[in-house]
Amino acid sequence: MDAAAEERRAWVTLLRIPGLTYERVARGLQAVGSAAELAQTADRRPELLELSEHARLQLRALDTKLIDGDLAWLDGPQRHLVPLTSPDYPALLAHAGGAPPALYVMGSVQVLSQPQLAIVGSRNPTASGRDTAFDFAAHLARCGLTITSGLAEGIDAAGHRGALSAGRETLAVCGTGLDVVYPEHHAELARSIAAHGALVSEFPPGTAPRREYFPQRNRIISGLSLGTLVVEAARQSGSLITARHATEQGREVFAIPGSIHNPMSRGCHRLIRDGAKLVETAEDILSELHWNTTDVNAPAGAAKPEGADSGAGGLDKEYEILLDALGFDALGPDALIERSGLKPEAVASMLLILELRGLVEARPGGRYCRSPTRR
């Protein structure tokens, strides 16, 4: 087995160990240098991955046929494994806290690092709520934001369909293995998303839907995104978990208010009371994200972030401040926030914008440095 195949097998093995996070695996890699070495020594040196006894038992019990099956699935078309060491691992997610050490992807790997907005909400929305999610998703997608959601019934599906109706990419984070579609009747929608965007999961192939997996995947939905829009949500909705993750990750949270008599509005009203941005139009979101809204019907790629350009190739003041704070060494967002004095949610989106313009480069470990053209 060559070194690349050995590394790939090691990553597939590590994803079968419960409870591993980006941070724990990154620390382990610093100690031993490769995923292959990490997987081989994890049981003998549990401190490398901070493995519990339960996790060690799971590792010892791993059937090689399971690993072989995971690798066989990856050999199919448009199927990818994106470990934290890959330049394709999304930088925003790397900084989200508790991110998975690798992602299974079906579709386009490039969509992972596009500027995204999460749209989530009730699985049982009103007809008005479903239409609102569809219309917001279509409009925001035409403005250049990739719509991210969870492939669930209701608002999630409406958000995906809205983006697809605009001819734009959308991304679905699944609470199952990518060979399992849940709900089953979303099979055609899942195929469309994979063909025009990506399906993403931290769970290996063959993973069936379990109740606890869906709240778990919500941190990935918010972690990939610049902000999260909640369209309709009951007081105990799972969408509020996504919104909470977004807040903890320093991302924007948006909520659409509704009738005081509609139980599907109560979750949104609670979010607004807790500090979420009240949204009446898509422009409210675009304004908060400093996104250029001058031509929402422009071809794909034409819409661009407001402030990244200020004529003659220049940058607005805040972007220059951030670029100056970056200096010539690779730094993470926390250090940049401290140096620049900018808000955490602003730094996350601005770094992505500067990367899209080729002014900064993402480095392993979720850090950034100036691109050679700016040195």
Instruction: Indicate the residue among 57, 75, 93 that finishes a domain.
Output: 75
Indicate if 172 and 271 belong to the same structural domain.
Answer: yes
Q: What is the CATH number of the domain that holds 322?
A: 1.10.10.10
Q: Are 229 and 136 in contact (CB under 8 A)?
A: yes
Share of the chain above pLDDT 70, in %: 91
203: domain range?
Answer: 110-288
Q: Is residue 162 part of a domain?
A: yes
115-126 mean pLDDT: 96
The pTM of the full predicted model, rounded to 2 decimals, is 0.82
pLDDT number for residue 315: 67
Indicate if 216 and 351 belong to the same structural domain.
Answer: no
Q: Is residue 237's pLDDT more than 90?
A: no
Q: Is residue 149 part of a domain?
A: yes
- In sequence order, the 6+-apart residues with CB closer than 8 A to the CB of 73 are 79, 178, 179, 205
62-66 mean pLDDT: 90
Instruction: Indicate the residue among 28, 56, 75 that finishes a domain.
Output: 75
CA–CA distance, 308 with 356 (Å, rounded to integer): 10
pLDDT number for residue 19: 87
Indicate if 202 and 53 belong to the same structural domain.
Answer: no
Q: Is residue 143 part of a domain?
A: yes
Q: Is residue 352's pLDDT more than 80?
A: no
Indicate if 121 and 253 belong to the same structural domain.
Answer: yes
pLDDT number for residue 295: 37
235-260 mean pLDDT: 92
Q: Is residue 357 part of a domain?
A: yes
CA 84 to chain centre: 13
pLDDT 10s digits, 164-186: 999 999 999 999 999 999 999 99
Indicate if 276 and 205 belong to the same structural domain.
Answer: yes
pLDDT number for residue 365: 66
Q: Is residue 213's pLDDT more than 80?
A: yes
End-to-end CA distance of the chain: 41
Indicate if 131 and 220 belong to the same structural domain.
Answer: yes
Indicate if 258 and 328 belong to the same structural domain.
Answer: no
71-78 mean pLDDT: 96
Indicate if 129 and 218 belong to the same structural domain.
Answer: yes
Per this entry, what is the length of the chain? 375
Q: Is residue 278 part of a domain?
A: yes
337-359 mean pLDDT: 78
Indicate if 234 and 186 belong to the same structural domain.
Answer: yes
Q: Residue 334 — very low, low, confident or very high, per pLDDT cuts 50/70/90?
A: confident
pLDDT 10s digits, 287-321: 898 886 543 443 333 334 445 444 334 567 888 88
Indicate if 282 and 359 belong to the same structural domain.
Answer: no
Indicate if 26 and 125 belong to the same structural domain.
Answer: no
Closest CA to 18 of 44, 53, 66: 53
Instruction: Indicate the residue among 18, 48, 75 that finishes a domain.
Output: 75
Average pLDDT, the chain: 88
248-259 mean pLDDT: 93
Q: Is residue 22's pLDDT more than 80?
A: yes
Q: Is residue 308 part of a domain?
A: no
pLDDT number for residue 88: 94
136-154 mean pLDDT: 96
pLDDT number for residue 359: 84
Indicate if 71 and 118 belong to the same structural domain.
Answer: no
pLDDT number for residue 33: 86
284-288 mean pLDDT: 92
Domain count, the chain: 3
